[in-house]
Amino acid sequence: MCGIVGYIGKREAYPVLIKGLKRLEYRGYDSAGVALLNDKNNLRVYKTKGKVADLEQYAADKDTSGCIGIAHTRWATHGEPNSNNAHPHMSFSGDLAIIHNGIIENYAFLKKLLQQKGIKFNSNTDTEVLVQLIDYIRTKKKTDLLTAVRIALRAVIGAYAIAILDKNNPDQIIAARKSSPLVIGIGQDEFFLGSDASPIIEYTDKVIYLDDKDIAVITKGKPLDIVDINNEKTDHEVKTVDINISQIEKGGFPHFMLKEIFEQPDCLKDCMRGRINVEADNIVLSAIIDNRKHLINPRRIIIVACGTSWHAGLIGKLLIEDFCQIPVEVEYASEFRYSNPVINSQDVVIAISQSGETADTLAAIELAKKKGAFIYGICNAIGSSIPRATHTGSYIHVGPEIGVASTKAFTGQVTVLAMLALALGKERGTIDNMKYVKVINALSEIPAKMEHLLEQSDNIKDISRIFTYAHNFLYLGRGYNYPVALEGALKLKEISYIHAEGYPAAEMKHGPIALIDEEMPVVVVATKNILYDKVLSNIQEIKARHARVIAIVSEGDDTVRNLADAVIELPQTEECLEPLLASLPLQMLAYYIAVAKGKDVDQPRNLAKSVTVE
Ligand code: M6R
């Protein structure tokens, strides 16, 4: 969602801001803008619908001087994507420029109030209300900007990460956050701002993550000053970010998504490193050791997540129930947060999120916490809001995921869930030792098997070319592979805009079979496991209706090969780990179909990488 970049220091701000916006492009956006201030108190705002490249083109013949500036990529919520609604927004006096990520929920009420005071609005956004309110308070009460910001933020309901420039103060940026992420980079006599660390790491690895209701006064040549909404000073630890530039660049791949698909073997090694021992017969998760009393005997576990992370949660349920004999429910965070769940201190809530910033998942955590549950986070983005809101957790350690369609984060989440289920099952004595060691062994072999699978990418590319005609796809799987079918369908629809549905294979005859004809390809995960024969019958039923079948099969399966139109072979593994392998060809299939259709794979329309609003 919206991206924020800021700079104050000795460099020219404009190139830093543009580069920073490009680093945040992965978040998804529809317009971009920049505000620049020079030491002659000359505040200029340039903004346009479209990409950062369009902004660059628009500003090419304009004055971009100044060593202080803020910049933004907007993902439209209030008001259509156009240059008027793009950020930065100026206040009525022409003194203040603001950028904002989040939603001001009571904007309509505040707007009406300000309009009654004679203030005219230039956009349809909720953000403009905030800057007008701040300027109104500043001029009416004759206060300094910080005081006006504090008062205004107290009147605001909703989520925000903001940065404000004041024409009269070319040495200062004021930034604040609540429920939307904001990071300050600390350089030598310079500061950077970012929605995450990616626009900052090129210049410094020292960062401060702002907490909710923090307001930072960032002044050139002075130490950082952070207060809360009541003007009380707050302390922050300066953290070192462990991300390097190559992790956020394409490294020779045409798209981040393809790079991230191919990174998975290494990512999973990183994810397991230090957790699975060298003999591959034991797992140590520090979160379990440190929180034994909460985790060892819960009444039940509730998994909350959205999208792909929710699919990982479905696999987590099967793993935990199998190895730990604890009942598990999997909830969409967006539904859970508005339900009235029966939760108490005997429950454990596992929140799964790649970005660690998903608004619905954060709200679900807050609700569960209020009701007394113990919260375990499974996240990728280090230092993000969800790990900070949970009691404990495990990072998946797969490195920054830039492509909007989640790939390596999914397999990282499933890997952590598998390790969690195994370690907890061992502690509880609900998994026998032979099985425990066998599954750990198999888990440690997954990266090598993924490498082998990735060698089939040319075959999958060829298959994908045959299926670009389709307007609808059906994905089927059973047991552990049912969430794989859901995830495969989500990948395809996200990046190719082809409608796709995932179903448990046996449900096909309860409805979806009515859709099946020669126009509708069906992807079936038909590996040799306990339900193989039943899935085989499903394939026969599909073929009898003349649909084309793409089958994901176990190596050497000639029976399905003889029935299906296209076949992708998976190396053998434990059934519970098949999702780690079966999801790869489905990611590649979606990727190559989208590329063949000429779609913008890394930034699909309407989607955002971090969904920081409801
Ligand atoms: O960052 P999160 O894991 O919390 O994000 C949840 C979903 O928004 C995300 O998985 C989304 O479905 C992806 N675009 C899937 O590819």
Q: How far is CA 539 from the centre of its chain?
A: 35
How many other CB atoms are found less than 10 A from the CB of residue 140? 10
pLDDT for the residue 280: 86
Report CA(588)–ligand 1 centroid distance (Å). 18
For the chain of 614 residues, list the mean pLDDT of each consecutive stretch of 10. 93 97 87 95 95 96 97 90 94 97 92 96 95 97 96 93 95 94 94 94 94 95 93 92 80 93 95 90 93 95 98 98 98 95 95 95 96 97 90 94 96 98 97 97 97 95 93 96 98 97 93 91 95 93 94 95 95 97 98 95 86 78
Q: In ligand 1, which atom is closest to the CA atom of 413?
A: 3
pLDDT at 130: 97
CB 35 within 8 A of CB 47: no
Ligand 1 atom with least separation from CA of 611: 8
For the chain, the farthest-separated pair of C-alpha atoms sits apart, in whole angstroms, at 81
Establish whether 2 is a catalytic residue: yes
Buried b (16+ CB within 10 A) or exposed e, 154-173: eebebbbbbbbbbbebbebb
In angstroms, the CA 349 to CA 337 distance is: 13
Atom of ligand 1 nearest to the CA of 405: 16
Nearest CA to ligand 1 atom 9: 307
Q: Is the CB of 307 under 6 A from ligand 1?
A: yes
Whole-number Å distance, alpha carbon 83 to ligand 1 midpoint, is 28
Q: How far is the CA of 491 from the centre of ligand 1 (A)?
A: 11
What is the distance between the alpha carbons of residues 362 and 382, in angstroms, rounded to a whole number? 15
Bridge partners of 360? none
Contact 100, 129 (CB under 8 A): no
Going from the Cα of 485 to the center of ligand 1, the distance in angstroms, rounded, reads: 16
The reported pLDDT for the residue numbered 246 is: 77
At residue 1, the pLDDT reads 73
Beta-bridged to residue 523, according to DSSP, are: 475, 550
C-beta atoms surrounding 237 within 10 Å: 6
Neighbours of 456 (CB within 10 A): 16
309 Cβ below 6 A of ligand 1: yes
Hey, what are 469's tokens? 């005609």
What pLDDT shows up at residue 251? 82
Contact between 139 and 127 (Cβ < 8 Å): no
CA atoms within 13 A on the CB side of 49: 8
The upper half-sphere exposure of residue 220, i.e. CA atoms within 13 Å in the direction of its Cβ, equals 19
Alpha helices in 273-407 (DSSP H): 286-290, 292-295, 307-324, 333-336, 359-370, 385-389
- Residue 587 Cβ < 6 Å to ligand 1: no
pLDDT score recorded for residue 310: 98
Q: 308 near 611, Cβ under 8 Å?
A: no
Report the nearest atom of ligand 1 relative to the CA of 609.
Answer: 14
> Is residue 195 in contact with ligand 1, taking CB distance under 6 Å?
no
* 554 close to 389: Cβ distance less than 8 angstroms: no
Write down the catalytic residue from 22, 47, 49, 609.
609
Nearest-angstrom CA–CA distance, 496 and 597: 7
Question: Which residues have CB under 8 Å from 558's CB, separation 6+?
Answer: none
